[in-house]
Amino acid sequence: MASLPDIDRLSLAEQVAQMVVVRASGYLFDHQIQYPEWEPPAANLQQWVENLGVGGVILLGGSAGEIALRSQQLQSWAKIPLLIAADIEEGVGQRFSGATWFPPPMALSAIARKNPSLAQEYAQQMGASTAQEALAIGINWVLAPVVDVNNNPANPVINVRAFGETPAEVSQLATAFIQGAQRHPVLTTAKHFPGHGDTAVDSHLELPVLPHSAERLAEIELPPFDAAIRASVDSVMSAHLLIPAWDAERPATLSPAILTGQLREKLGFEGLIVTDALVMGAIANRYGANEAPVMAVEAGADILLMPVDPPGAIQAVCDAVAAGRISPERIRASVERIWKAKLKVFSLSDSGEVKETQPSPNSLNLLAQPLALETAANILRHAQLIHGSVPLPPEEAPTPNHKLRNLIVVDNALGCDFLGRQTPAVALPKQRGYQLQLLDRNSPSTLAAEDSENFSSTLLQLFIRGNPFRGSAGLTPVAQDLFKKLLKTGELKALVIYGSPYLLQQFIPELPTEVPCVFSYGQMPAAQAIALEVLFS
């Protein structure tokens, strides 16, 4: 049985390994791996967990049921129990099918402007359901909430992941999420320190610069982190940002002035400082696979998330200790914080061994419970926006001279986990005689225009929101071009937008009042059903 040994019994390499969290596929078999550049085959992963003794794993991909098995497998390999993390900002179902998928956090700010107490109630229930469902499948570290203030509509990486556009909105709703999650023994994470909301560059690809003064940072970016810390958030994740007002040379993730000086000393944060993924371009492309982890530890990080080369990162940090760059006491301080975090999520027996932590088959009954599904649906309904007259009048039956088109535009049809033959955006229009046409960024730009003459009416459904690593910036002009052509020909029957409210703001001024439009923050099937219910009822 795994245990938490006395830190003094661990070698330096074993202590450093506890500071490393590696990425792994949530799928059980190597042939299912979707991101081979980041997700190791099973033999490597087992070596890292069993022999290197890494402290944690972050999972992506697979169903909730598969994750329950995967987490059992990982914990069975580990001599010291693992922190198992996931980016589940929108509920467990966002990443792992079968569980509850909540709308993006920004939906709650739309509700808060009308009914602040209701929005906070929803945020708290969202946090509680996310934590409960995470534990049910073996995840004990929730990498949420996002506490960035998204005051830049062009932000490609935060966008609707934020709880709002003002420090007050974000502070109140993120705090409520944390309080809800605290009903269960999971770790929570405020990210991305000191604030990634006012950027127009994706740090997954390049290093953004936040040019603001220290006074402006204190006014806008820092209050939500301060609120999260006061709410006893367990960890804070760094942002890969250059902030000249605090450090003109090193990004926040690698800056002692920021992680230690600002977060640890000025804000008084005593929990875990975790880096954002070190494989991201903003860090990996500039500082190298093994130097970046050393610099992050020097800066004050306790957890090295997704280093490019985990064994190399462990050795590099050990070499830095041997060379006098990092003190042994600095490593021990991080491990002590990690032990404290693990003691929160693992119960110990009288003999000091970790009690059974694996999810049981009955734990899956805690997924997608009525309260969680109802809360997600209520958030969608109360945040939904309607323009023009709904519902649509009854459509005359399709004929050879009167064809109906359901034109769906998505970023990438091959990676679209919210669309399928039976999902509402496809199935409900089909029941009414609409013929499906699906376009993405890989489609010929002239395809929809060439087919327009074959249809009399078009339902245009746009799935566009910020997506890390690629954004959707290139898709918006395509959608706007389609929209204008359909308006010009009089073919546009109705418009439904799923995702970014900033996109809606670009379309509404040109939309005639007689053309109905429904906007939903969510893109998941539940959001589609609720939006189309309004349109077709």
* Region of residue 207 (phi > 0: left; psi between -120 and 50: alpha; otherwise: beta): beta
Question: What is the model's pLDDT at position 397?
Answer: 60
Q: Give yes or no: 212 in active site.
A: no
b/e burial code for range 444-481 (CB count within 10 A of at least 16 → b) = eeeebeeebeebbbbbbbbbbbbbbebbbeebbebbee
Report the alpha-carbon distance of residue 511 to residue 517 in Å, rounded: 8
Report the alpha-carbon distance of residue 516 to residue 107 in Å, rounded: 21
Report the alpha-carbon distance of residue 307 to residue 284 in Å, rounded: 9
> pLDDT higher for 469 or 202?
202
In the block, residue with structure tokens 């605290």: 182
Residues 6+ apart with CB under 8 A from 524: 93, 101, 103, 418
Least confident of 75-89, 118-132, 404-418: 404-418
pLDDT tens-digit profile of 517-533? Answer: 999 999 999 999 999 99
Question: What is the model's pLDDT at position 123?
Answer: 98
Q: With bands split at pLDDT 50, 70 and 90, how would you rate the model's confidence at 351?
A: low
Q: How many residues does the chain have?
A: 537
Cα 244–208–282 angle (5° rounding)?
110
Question: What is the model's pLDDT at position 384?
Answer: 97
Question: What is the model's pLDDT at position 131?
Answer: 98
Q: Residues 332-339: what's their mean pLDDT?
A: 98
pLDDT tens-digit profile of 414-449? Answer: 878 899 999 999 999 999 999 999 998 777 755 555
Other CB atoms within 10 A of residue 404 CB = 20
Other CB atoms within 10 A of residue 287 CB = 20
pLDDT tens-digit profile of 155-178? Answer: 778 899 999 999 999 999 999 999
- Cα separations (Å) of 537 from 375, 385, 432? 22, 16, 12
Report the alpha-carbon distance of residue 293 to residue 304 in Å, rounded: 7
Give domain limits for the chain.
17-28+36-361, 384-536
- Collapsed DSSP state (helix, strand, coil) of residue 492: strand
Report the alpha-carbon distance of residue 305 to residue 283 in Å, rounded: 12
Q: Residues of the chain with pLDDT > 70: what percent?
A: 92
Tokens representing residue 357 in the block:
């932590």
Q: Which CATH number fits domain 17-28+36-361: 3.20.20.70, 3.20.20.300, 3.90.190.20, 3.30.70.260?
A: 3.20.20.300
Q: Give yes or no: 184 in active site.
A: no
pTM > 0.75: yes
Question: What is the model's pLDDT at position 347?
Answer: 83
Q: Residues 339-360: what's their mean pLDDT?
A: 78
Query: Which value, to the nearest 10 degrees, does the dihedral of the CA atoms of residues 369, 366, 24, 260 take?
Result: 90
Is 137's pLDDT higher than 90?
Answer: yes
Beta bridge partner(s), residue 110: none
In the block, residue with structure tokens 């599904």: 373
Question: What is the model's pLDDT at position 95?
Answer: 96
Q: With bands split at pLDDT 50, 70 and 90, how would you rate the model's confidence at 118?
A: very high
Catalytic residue among 196, 204, 212, 240: 204
Q: Which amino acid is at 291?
A: E
pLDDT tens-digit profile of 205-237? Answer: 678 888 999 999 999 999 999 999 999 999 999
In the block, residue with structure tokens 């890390």: 468
Question: What is the model's pLDDT at position 446?
Answer: 58
Fold of 384-536: Rossmann fold (3.40.50)
Question: What is the model's pLDDT at position 527?
Answer: 98
Is 368's pLDDT higher than 60?
Answer: yes
Do residues 421 and 366 lie in contact, with contact meaning Cβ atoms separated by under 8 Å?
no
Report the alpha-carbon distance of residue 238 to residue 182 in Å, rounded: 22
The DSSP string of 212-232 is: --HHHIIIIISHHHHHHHHTT
pLDDT tens-digit profile of 169-203? Answer: 999 999 999 999 999 999 999 999 999 888 766 66
Report the alpha-carbon distance of residue 294 to residue 323 in Å, rounded: 12
Question: What is the model's pLDDT at position 448?
Answer: 56
- Cα separations (Å) of 279 from 286, 291, 310, 335, 472? 11, 12, 11, 22, 21
Catalytic residue among 226, 276, 302, 411: 276
- Cα separations (Å) of 190 from 115, 141, 257? 24, 12, 19
Do residues 137 and 184 lie in contact, with contact meaning Cβ atoms separated by under 8 Å?
no
Report the alpha-carbon distance of residue 117 to residue 103 in Å, rounded: 18
Is 324's pLDDT higher than 60?
Answer: yes
Least confident of 68-77, 239-248, 411-420, 470-479: 470-479
Question: What is the model's pLDDT at position 352?
Answer: 61
Long-range contacts of 307-310 (CB under 8 A, 24+ apart): 307/20, 307/22, 307/278, 307/279, 308/278, 308/279, 308/284, 310/20, 310/22, 310/48, 310/52, 310/54
Of 100, 108, 110, 121, which Cα lies nearest the Cα of 386? Answer: 110
109 phi/psi in degrees, rounded to 5: -70, -30
Q: Residues 345-367: what's their mean pLDDT?
A: 76
